[in-house]
């Protein structure tokens, strides 16, 4: 088949280069443009030598790039950019996947509260489809605009999903204790992610409230059909990639919980339910579009513990975005995403 013409807006961050890595290996993709105002005219491979020989483009200014001629455009930009630039492309018939948070939350007032800026594209928010593929695959297939989920929300929602869909736990008292590598903070210079600050250290942050909290609550509420009570505490860990979410829920109805998870994800190519008693680690999914899950019931008590691990840059961002592209464009969902995890 002819190549799908793809544009990437904002290709200079960690999510952007991960997206380029995956797209450069995709059998059905023709990269048409990679934009960056600051780096316009610079060869992509000069900034990212890992792409040498695979990506021959230069960064271009978004105003000069042939984005309107693309079949699909990814926005790997800071929050607030896509809602300003995507509408023109959407009106021209281009399909869009936003890897930032611009179209994730359904309530404009909630979005403005958490992201601290005025929302400017409410008409497109109504049409956006939340891109958690394992939940919204049929809607994604026909979507013009997909809001790619955040990294923490992906790990947490996939971990709770089978329990909430089946009504097996108390939805008023859910707990998500999550840890992320420093690449989750983005490719920028900030004191708290300097090597001397983040290495050999471990800390919680955003305990009073994190931007991903309303996104997670929104998704979980849709799964069970009612508002949920969620305590979400993120932590920064001294590693580059990976998210580990330890999820707690009080059991309200007895089932074979291992079988519940296995049945729910049996036909999902990018969710791996591990055998009973397993403890997934983040490096088991490093550089792969995988979520690995394990289910525990400590002491046969009334609390279920779900362990969920993803690579925050792949299944938590760029890989999931490519997965959504495959569904939107009628391709094999696994196309370009069959890389094995990297060890060590």
Q: State the angle between helix axes of 319-328 and 14-24 in degrees (0 to 180), rounded to the nearest 10.
A: 50
Other CB atoms within a 10 A radius of the CB of residue 226 amount to 11
Report the 10 Å Cβ neighbour count for 276.
Answer: 11
Cross-strand partners of 328: none
- First and final CA of the chain: distance in angstroms? 37
- The answer to whether 151 is a known catalytic residue is yes
Q: In what order do the strands lie in the sheet with 129-130?
A: 59-60, 29-35, 4-9, 72-75, 95-98, 145-147, 129-130
Q: Which one, of 219, 235, 233, 147, lies nearest residue 185 by Cα?
A: 235
Q: Is the distance from CB of 304 to CB of 320 less than 8 angstroms?
A: no
**Prior bond to 91 cis, omega within 30?**
no
Phi, psi (rounded to 5 degrees) for 258? -60, -45
Q: Which helix (H) or strand (E) holds 194?
A: none
Strands (E), the chain: 4-9, 29-35, 59-60, 72-75, 95-98, 129-130, 145-147, 174-180, 203-204, 230-236, 243-250, 271-273, 291-296, 303-310
Which among 70, 151, 224, 291 is annotated as catalytic? Answer: 151
Angle at alpha carbon of residue 289, lines to 98 and 126, rounded to 5°: 25
3-class SS string, 138-156? HHHHCCCEEECCCHHHHHH
Sign of CA dihedral 96, 102, 103, 104: positive
> Annotated catalytic sites, by residue?
151
């Amino acid at each position: 088949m002819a190549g799908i013409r793809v544009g990437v807006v904002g290709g200079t961050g960690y999510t952007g280069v991960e997206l380029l890595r995956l797209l450069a290996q995709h059998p059905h993709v023709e990269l048409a443009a990679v934009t960056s105002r600051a780096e316009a005219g610079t060869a992509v491979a000069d900034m990212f030598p890992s792409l040498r020989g695979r990506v021959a483009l230069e960064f271009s200014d978004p105003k000069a790039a042939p984005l309107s001629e693309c079949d699909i455009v990814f926005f790997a930009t800071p929050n607030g950019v896509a809602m300003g630039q995507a509408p023109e492309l959407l009106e021209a018939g281009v399909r869009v996947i936003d890897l930032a948070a611009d179209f994730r939350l359904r309530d404009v007032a909630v979005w403005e509260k958490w992201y601290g800026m005025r929302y400017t594209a409410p008409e497109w928010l109504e049409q956006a489809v939340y891109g958690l593929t394992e939940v919204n695959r049929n809607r994604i297939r026909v979507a013009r605009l997909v809001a790619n989920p955040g990294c923490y929300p992906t790990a947490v929602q996939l971990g709770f999903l089978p329990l909430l869909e089946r009504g097996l736990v108390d939805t008023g008292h859910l707990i998500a204790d999550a840890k992320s590598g420093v690449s989750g903070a983005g490719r920028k210079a900030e004191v708290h992610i300097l090597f001397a600050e983040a290495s050999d250290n471990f800390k919680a942050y955003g305990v009073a409230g994190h931007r991903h909290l309303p996104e997670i609550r929104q998704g979980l509420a849709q799964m069970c059909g009612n508002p949920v009570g969620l305590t979400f505490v993120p932590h920064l860990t001294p590693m580059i990639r990976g998210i580990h979410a330890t999820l707690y829920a009080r059991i309200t109805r007895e089932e074979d919980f291992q079988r519940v998870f296995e049945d729910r994800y049996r036909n999902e190519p990018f969710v791996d339910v591990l055998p009973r008693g397993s403890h997934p680690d983040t490096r088991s999914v490093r550089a792969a579009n995988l979520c690995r899950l394990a289910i525990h019931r400590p002491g046969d008590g009334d609390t279920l513990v779900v362990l969920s691990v993803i690579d925050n840059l792949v299944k938590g961002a760029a890989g999931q975005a490519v997965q959504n592209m495959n569904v939107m464009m009628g391709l094999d969902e696994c196309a370009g995403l069959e890389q094995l995890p990297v060890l060590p």
